């Protein structure tokens, strides 16, 4: 009895954990194939208001406009690529959740790993120099230095 109650509580809790889609019933296309394509494209488009949320998950007015634009382009007969190109041409590449790795974006894609390697190289050379300085340090005072120190201490 307790197991069944616990299992039903877990199922109930996980059913509320699914992502809430902001797509309104009036936006859904009557053709299931076109709607599936629209949902697939929407997963890759960023809400420009919410930033790191796709347009299907956003309630922002701009995200709604983008969802409608995607569906409009698909109904007009555009391929998935043509619809995405149209939206990118209109809103810029920032609208893509996964920007392309060409042109100026290559700098952004490779800047992180390059900075990590550069930092690692600087840290390695610092540790190496530091170790060499510790190994080269004299053990104690020479005889002349001890005499000079004794003279200074007497004064």
At residue 60, the pLDDT reads 85
Considering the entire predicted model, what is its pTM?
0.56
φ, ψ (nearest 5 deg) of residue 31? -85, 115
Question: Quick one: pLDDT at residue 25?
Answer: 66
* Residue 104: per-residue pLDDT: 75
Contact present, 55 and 66 (Cβ < 8 Å): yes
- The Cβ of residue 39 has, within 10 Å, a number of other Cβ atoms equal to 18
**Which pLDDT score, from 0 to 100, does residue 35 have?**
86
Residue with tokens 């494209």: 41
Q: How far apart are CA 101 and CA 33, in angstroms?
A: 30
Q: Which residues of the chain have pLDDT under 50?
A: 17-20
With the CA atoms of 73, 79, 84 and 87 taken in that order, what torsion angle do they form, in degrees rounded to the nearest 10?
Answer: -30
pLDDT of residue 21: 57
């Amino acid at each position: 009895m307790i197991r069944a109650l616990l299992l039903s509580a877990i199922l109930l809790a996980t059913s509320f954990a699914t992502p809430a889609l902001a797509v309104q019933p009036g936006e859904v296309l009557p053709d299931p194939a076109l709607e599936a394509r629209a949902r697939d494209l929407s997963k890759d488009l960023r809400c420009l208001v919410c930033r790191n949320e796709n347009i299907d998950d956003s309630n922002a007015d701009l995200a709604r406009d983008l969802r409608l634009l995607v569906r409009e382009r698909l109904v007009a007969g555009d391929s998935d690529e043509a619809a995405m190109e149209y939206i990118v041409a209109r809103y810029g590449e920032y609208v893509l959740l996964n920007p392309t790795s060409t042109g100026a974006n290559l700098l952004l894609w490779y800047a992180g790993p390059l900075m990590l390697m550069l930092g690692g190289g600087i840290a390695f050379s610092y540790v190496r120099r530091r170790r060499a300085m510790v190994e080269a340090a004299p053990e104690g005072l020479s005889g002349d230095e001890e005499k000079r120190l004794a003279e200074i201490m007497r004064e």
